[in-house]
Amino acid sequence: MQDIWANLLANAAGPYGDDEVTPSFPTILMELRARDVKFLDALFREATSKLRTTAGVRNIEKIKFSKVDLYIVYSGAGLAKFPVFQTSPHAEGDDPEDFREDASDMDLSLDTFERNRVFVKVYEVPIRKGNTNTFGLGTNYSFTHLGACFVKACRDPRSREK
């Protein structure tokens, strides 16, 4: 966490144009646990990776994560007590009870991200299934513009992606 604070301070002092450090960033960082920061950074890396491979999408705020995607990123960041290594959070033979504690902690991080407007729930209607539209409610999550700028401001200024 000390490095993150130092990065934020260094980025606030440096001239980085439209990636300015806003006065709200220290307040946001103050509310995050070390594991929240690790999860947020992993989400940002995953969103950046998806941005490079998703045709027609140029804005990180357009990259959406399902709950399963979030859990896979959470687990891949080394935060889960019961990690997953496939595309589903529940492997054959796993006890779903094992995942409740991890899911609860991940939800706590998401609540903190949402409260600070770093990450938002995105509701989508209708949901396309095959050739038909259904009128269920789909819930995904994505970075806000503030959130993307916040994560960039917390990264080492010497290794910033332009």
What's the total number of domains in the chain?
1
State the Cα–Cα distance between residues 95 and 91, nearest whole angstrom. Answer: 9
| Closest C-alpha among 46, 102, 111 to residue 79 | 102
**Of 139, 117, 146, 152, which is closest to residue 44 (Cα–Cα)?**
152
Distance, first Cα to last Cα, the chain: 24
**pLDDT, tens only, 125-159:** 666 666 766 665 678 999 999 999 999 999 988 87
* Strand stretches in 4-158, DSSP E: 119-124, 127-129, 132-134, 138-143
Which phi and psi (to 5°) does residue 119 adopt? -135, 145
Q: What is the pLDDT of residues 19-55, one digit of tens each?
A: 578 889 999 999 999 999 999 999 999 999 999 888 7
**DSSP of 9-28, one letter per residue?**
HHHHHS--TTSPPPTTHHHH
pLDDT at 56: 76
- Domain around 151: 2-159
The token duo for 122 is 């995105």
Give residue-wise pLDDT tens across range 65-118.
998 899 999 999 999 987 775 554 454 445 556 677 888 999 999 999 999 999
pLDDT for 13: 84
